């Protein structure tokens, strides 16, 4: 049976002082019954990985380049991230798709690079408010899923995160029925492409204003295998209750 996953995306937040939060998570979750992933800024990956070296907590990155090396000033390759101690990388987050004009094809190329480097690719999908209000949510999800997942994706090397853009950092959360509808739809699409059994191996995370107060009901929703948490993952006092809700 696949283990559930609580993943934290620190985004562009965190300095060396923030490593105290990682230490707190390590001490507070010595033997978790779910997987825990923290994705700090790249400047902290090596130090965070060192802190978690004897812990079940995994450290990840927030993006990677599709090439293993080359003339790409300011970019980081998947092999570099693995060398720094990362075990996973977030790809295709809406903030990357919107602010950096990343296409689904680019995300797929990055996912293949991540797989080649031995990293788990956490591939993000999600619709805008206009797309939701226009009843295009499932069309958007289908298009992003088809374009962002390489053929070599498996439940072992890939995690999918549904993050409705309009719910990220807004305090707004879709209804449980809306979350369940999209997660069920993603599972069905995976089944059509990879087969019913293989589809069950993929972990489907929900992300978008997940907080200690709403985590339990979200985790009880159909086909939700965990969460990709933004702001609430910056402090162990906020993230730990979410982890415990997933363990319940």
- Residue 126's contacts (CB-CB under 8 Å, 6 or more residues apart) are 94, 140, 141, 144, 162, 163, 164, 165, 168, 207, 208
- DSSP label at residue 158: E
Task: Output phi, psi for 116, to 5 deg.
Answer: -65, -30
Q: Are 189 and 160 in contact (CB under 8 A)?
A: no
Sign of CA dihedral 237, 238, 243, 245: positive
- DSSP label at residue 10: -
Three-class SS of residue 242?
Answer: helix
The question of whether 217 is a catalytic residue gets the answer: no
- CB hemisphere CA count around 201 (13 angstroms): 11
**Quick count: other Cβ atoms within 10 Å of Cβ 32?**
19
Choose the catalytic residue: 21, 127, 163, 181.
163
Beta strands in 44-143 (DSSP E): 58-61, 88-91, 120-125
The question of whether 72 is a catalytic residue gets the answer: no
* 20, 135, 156, 226, 227 from 203: Cα distances, Å: 29, 25, 9, 8, 10
Choose the catalytic residue: 21, 29, 65, 93.
93
The residues carrying an active-site annotation are 93, 163
């Amino acid at each position: 049976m696949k283990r559930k996953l609580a993943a934290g995306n620190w985004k562009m937040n965190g300095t060396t002082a923030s490593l105290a939060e990682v230490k707190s998570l390590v001490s507070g979750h010595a033997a978790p019954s779910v997987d825990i992933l923290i994705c700090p800024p790249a400047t902290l990956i090596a130090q965070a990985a060192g802190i978690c070296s004897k812990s079940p907590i995994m450290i990840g990155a927030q993006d990677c380049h599709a090439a293993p090396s080359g003339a790409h000033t300011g970019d980081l390759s998947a092999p570099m991230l693995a060398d720094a101690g990362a075990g996973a990388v977030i790809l295709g987050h809406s903030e990357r798709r919107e602010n950096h004009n990343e296409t689904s094809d680019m995300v797929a190329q990055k996912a293949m690079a991540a797989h080649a480097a031995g990293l788990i690719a956490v591939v993000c999908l999600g619709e805008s408010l206009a797309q939701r209000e226009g009843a295009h949510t499932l069309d958007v999800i289908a298009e992003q899923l088809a374009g962002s997942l390489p053929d070599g994706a498996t439940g072992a090397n890939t995690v999918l995160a549904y993050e409705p853009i309009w719910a990220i950092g807004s305090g707004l959360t879709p209804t449980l029925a809306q979350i369940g509808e999209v997660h069920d739809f993603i599972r069905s699409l995976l089944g059509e492409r990879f087969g019913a059994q293989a589809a069950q191996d993929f972990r489907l995370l929900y992300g978008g204003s997940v907080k200690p107060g709403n985590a339990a009901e979200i985790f009880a929703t159909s086909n939700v295998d965990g969460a990709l948490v933004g702001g609430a993952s910056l402090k162990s006092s906020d993230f730990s209750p979410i982890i415990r809700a997933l363990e319940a």
